[in-house]
Structures are given as structure tokens and as C-alpha cells.
Amino acid sequence: MSTNLSGARERFLRAIFERGAEGASTALSRWLGTEVRLIVSAIDQVDLVEASEALGPPDALVAACAMGLVGPLGGSILLAFEDRAGLALADLLLNRPIGTAVEWGEMEESAARETANIVGCSYLNALAAYLPSGPADELAPTPPNLLREFAGSLLQFALMEQAMEFDQVLLARAAFDAGKAGLDLNWTLLLIPDRRSLQALTAELVDDPRTP
Amino acid sequence: MVGNAAASESEIVSVAIGQWAVAAAPSRLRTLLGSCVGVVVYDRKGRVGGLAHIVLPASRGATDHPGKYADTAVPALIAEIERRLGGAAAGRLVAKLAGGASMFPTGAPSPNAAMNIGRLNHEAVETLLAARRIPILARDLGGGGGRNLLFDVASGIVSIRTPGGAERVI
């Protein structure tokens, strides 16, 4: 089965995910004390094999903060990063020279989780305004779980809900861009709606007057 | 043929999500598992074995992706092994299972579906193998982490590596 995402539906999805990215950029810049932009790089609708490579080679180890969605949408948000990029984040937040942290400790993990929480909440708040239910229904992430996992295993699990219904799965991918020289923000944000939310987004919203 | 990657000598064959492959010794088969279940079936005497990467328990009539579902992938895997052995595998096939992890809560409105799918995959595979009287020699199932599985067709040994963990053998 396919969701047949194309044309106006894809443009609509991109538009609402970009609203989410704008909201997250503002909040993240404030949190990090430096200008950071989230850029929606792709709305991918691909088969499971291709989707399992969205974070690089499937057997590569990545760190990721995984959050579920609570409210009018279901699914997952993953903030994934290589160790080096995650540790650089902790250094920035703790006002240490980038490169100080060389392994994950309590402070580093806490910094990653809190950042994921801020990105997730602000992304979803901005995005919720463009949902049919409107901003009245609070859309929020669950508390982040920090995992060190094979990239392919992580995606396999996150995409499972969609795979129950569809042969092709949809994920929205955003990359980070930092103005500050030397700050490695090689992070990836993935929003993976569950099948019910995906059907709602792709089937019901196309006639919405707010559709760009 | 989709899902059926035949291996040449000494090769390591990667089995992608929702696919299956059969190979002869000395080839090895590998796959990466999260909530999916890896089904290894082999005939040690015939030195032929296969690996299926099961995503969901039941096809519900879908025919486009037989490797994705337990009820289509397991019969296809067994049929191909038996074909390679020219019917000589009767009563000699054995199996090993791995995977079926539940990694993190995925939130409302269907919070349990993804968390339970690993268990449902496992149950479906057990039922299918039991119906064919194929004994399961070892299981490495459940938990909260991924598995990198490598199956050596010659020995029947399945090596499992987890993120940050030591390699174990079943």
C-alpha cells in the first residue's frame, strides 16, 4: 500500500515541517547562545531498505535522543548525532572549549537530553498551529531517551508503525547550521509520523485553506 | 528475485530489512535487527542455510513483498533451502532466532503497536516453524537494543553483536 504523497500534499507537509523548524531554530539559538538554524532538508517517502540508511550506514553506531509524540499526532522524533557532535554540544552549553568532552558522562547526557527536549517541544509547538486540530490540542514530545544504537536498528524501530500499513515510509529530515565557527552541528532531526497521523496529514489537509 | 540473494563462495551476504537469502558454506549471512526478527534456518549436513529478516507477522494477503512478513518469508526461505538440497533436507532443518527488541516509547495515539511488534513477530515465527516440525536450537530475543547478526552457514554458529556490548554466540 502506498500513501501516494505528491504535489500539493508534499508541499503542504514541507511547509508545516518548515514552520516547526523555524520554531525550533529560535528556541535552540536562545538555548545555545549562538545562532543556529534548522533546515528541512528532505521529505523522504522511500522503501524500508532506503529509509534504514537515513542516518548513514545501518551498522554505524550513533547517539540519539528518541521521543514519542503525545497529542493529535503520533509517531517519533529522533535527534541523532555522532559522538563528536553530541559532545561538542555539551562543551558549548557548559562554556568549555569545544573538544573538552571526550566521552559521555552525566553532564553530557543531560545536555543532550535537554537540548532534544527544547528542539522537540519548539518544533512541535510551531507545527501544531498548522494541524487541522489547531493549536488548542497540545502536541508535545515524551521525555527523551538517550540511546547509543546501530543507526539501522534505531530507524527500523521508529519506522515500524508506518511499515505495518505501508510499503513505503515517510520521514521528514532536518539538518542544523550554526553560525559559530568551529561548532560541529552534524546533527539530524527526524520526524516520523505514525500511520494514522500520516494518513491524516496526507489525506485530509490538502484542502485546508492554510495550505500554501 | 526479490528477497532471494544467492551467495557465491566465501561471501558475506547482507540481508536487508524485509528480505531473505539462502547460501551454501563457506558463505556467511548478516543482518541488522531492531524490532524485526531474524530467522536462521539451516541444514548442517547439507551445508546450506538461509536468513530471513522479518518485519511483520502476517501478510494479510499482500504479495508484493514476501520477505517482509513471517507467513510468507518463512515458507519461501524453507522452500529455497529444500530446493538447493534437492529434497534431501527432510527432517534435518533446524532454526535459530534473534531480534524483536522494543527500543523506546513512540507516543500516542498508538503507543503499544511498535512496542509489541517484536513479540508478535517472534510468536508468528515460532508457530510457523513448529507447524513444519523445525526445532529451534537457540533464541536471542527481546530486550531494548539492536543486534548485528552474523550467521556462518558451515558451522551453524550465529554471532550477535550489540551496541557497546561483547559479542555473543548462539
Residue A144 is classified by DSSP as P
Amino acid at A90: A
Tens of pLDDT, residues B105-153: 665 445 455 557 888 888 999 999 999 999 999 999 988 889 999 999 9
Euclidean distance between CA atoms A122 and A134, whole angstroms: 15
Chain A: give the shortest CA distance to residue B54, in Å.
11
Cβ-based contacts of A117 with chain B (< 8 Å): none
CATH label of the domain that carries residue A69: 3.40.1550.10
Q: Any idea where the domains of chain B sit in the sequence? A: 12-169
* Structural domain includes residue A129: yes
User: Do residues A5 and A104 make contact, with C-beta atoms less than 8 angstroms apart?
Assistant: no
**Segments of chain A with pLDDT less than 70:** 1-7, 131-137, 179-185, 200-212
The answer to whether B115 faces chain A, any CB pair under 8 Å, is no
* Structural domain includes residue A1: no
Closest alpha carbon to A141 in A13, A9, A31, A24: A24
> Cβ separation of A150 and B148 shorter than 8 Å?
yes
* Structural domain includes residue A210: no
Among chain A, residues having any CB pair with chain B shorter than 8 Å are 1, 48-49, 52, 58-59, 61, 66-71, 74-76, 141-142, 145, 147-150, 152-158, 160-161, 163-164, 167, 194-197
pTM for the model stands at 0.81
ipTM of the complex: 0.81
Q: Which pLDDT belongs to residue B9?
A: 53
Q: Which pLDDT belongs to residue A183?
A: 63
Tens of pLDDT, residues A164-205: 777 777 778 787 777 665 566 678 888 888 877 777 666 554
Contacting B residues, span 126-155, partner chain A, CB-CB under 8 Å: 145-148
Residue linked to cell 507545527? A127
Structure confidence at residue B2 as a pLDDT band (50, 70, 90): very low
User: Do residues A142 and A67 make contact, with C-beta atoms less than 8 angstroms apart?
Assistant: yes
Q: CATH for B12-169, among 3.30.1330.200, 3.10.180.10, 3.40.50.450, 3.40.250.10?
A: 3.30.1330.200
Tens of pLDDT, residues B75-107: 999 999 999 888 777 789 999 999 988 877 665
* Structural domain includes residue A151: yes
Say yes or no to pLDDT of B169 above 60: yes
* Structural domain includes residue A209: no
* Structural domain includes residue A212: no
* Annotated catalytic residue B36: yes
> Cβ separation of A194 and B109 shorter than 8 Å?
yes
Identify each DSSP E strand in chain A by its residue range.
Answer: 36-47, 61-70, 75-81, 140-141, 145-150, 168-178, 187-193
Identify each DSSP E strand in A92-186 by its residue range.
Answer: 140-141, 145-150, 168-178
Q: Which domain holds residue A194?
A: 7-203
Q: Number of structural domains, chain A?
A: 1
User: Do residues A58 and A159 make contact, with C-beta atoms less than 8 angstroms apart?
Assistant: no
